Structure 1
């Protein structure tokens, strides 16, 4: 059988999660393990943002941590650029930091309060045996990229606002020029105005570097603003996925519909209408 020459091959995804299972041990030596992720599959392309949305306890942060190697995988596979990473040793994981980084939720606790911003940003570079002169040059460029002043080098995290600290966390994640960043609720601790500026910064960085994001959030409006595609996680399973605008505005699954209707809006009349629609949806499923 001949291959149709007009067919364009599908490019290999940057990240591929295949039938992933994660379970945690219960209390006591005879306690059964509790499943947290049950057969999750998703992929992320180069330069793309995949939004992962779900309520607290849905398993979305566990999925991010499994990708980062912070929790053990019970079954399934995680591949980065075709290379399996869920079975890597700690030493191999350290080398993987060139390609895979993370931005955590809380900018107040993710930075060492006793270290200057310059030392924080230079640390991953010096660990990779980059010379001090080159490290300083790269740190200076990182501050420019996240729109922080150069005098931030000599200041401590407590001297910055929450939004500025999150910019430092973004700069630290960018230090090794990764191809994928796991963003675990990176703006949920910020006020709405600061959220917008940080999201705009992430979008600009992606346009400049073609870095891919796994953007984890419980907020559909935030996910819509940043993502190309969206996957909805409920009880450790993907219940809906697709184009970001479609999933976050006209979802098919009742769970996603409830998430959308539960999101607050500024208009009181629209908010009341959403409450009524949510009540109707709940009654229809009784």
Structure 2
């Protein structure tokens, strides 16, 4: 009898702890589920998106559903001299609607910005944050690198525009560095980078014509050279060049674009921004 009681007690002691552990098992999958979810989420992102310049709280376009656009460059994308919506926002809204979503636009363009200035801007953590989450980056930069004062001089005569060659050489390396940095911030995630040329890096339309034939001829020659350099930089870094000279001045390059310009003859007006947006959207639609 005593031996039986001892056996029973021993069995109770053994079964009790096992039963307790068994009761704990059903909670294990639930407790580990968040961990599995986080792992799954991180596996959907390329490793390059987890670099220091991309904070963990950065919104992911694929997860939020928003179409994110970043504008970079000078007073042209900034919308200076035009009380209107910049082409950066126009394109963002149109593309988001085309995809059935909403647009989040960060237009970081600044009046007076040079290519060297844009390189400096790309070191700013908040700018890098915005680019790293973008679906589309639109860049217009380069015109402010050139001094307009000698454009009508003999040393700047078309087609050689020799007085600007030193600036062009320096700018070539800077453009490459800009696009390299943007590409690095986007990482392996699918995104589009569009970089535009100019219809004129200086004044155009009636305002330019008032400065004489040499001014018009030499400024157009410089613009064509500049556009070719921007296009080459885009091709080298996998970006897409968008031709604005043809958009503003037609295939012949001689169309009067005064109706697309603000009163200063330097910046696009509302019709000009709409024309640039149309050129950008045409490129995006063909991709």
Q: Same fold (TM over 0.5)?
A: no
Higher Rg of the two aligned structures: 2
- The structure richer in strand per residue is 1
Higher relative contact order, structure no. (Cα contacts within 8 Å, ≥ 6 residues apart):
1
Q: What's the TM-score once normalised by structure 1's chain length?
A: 0.30
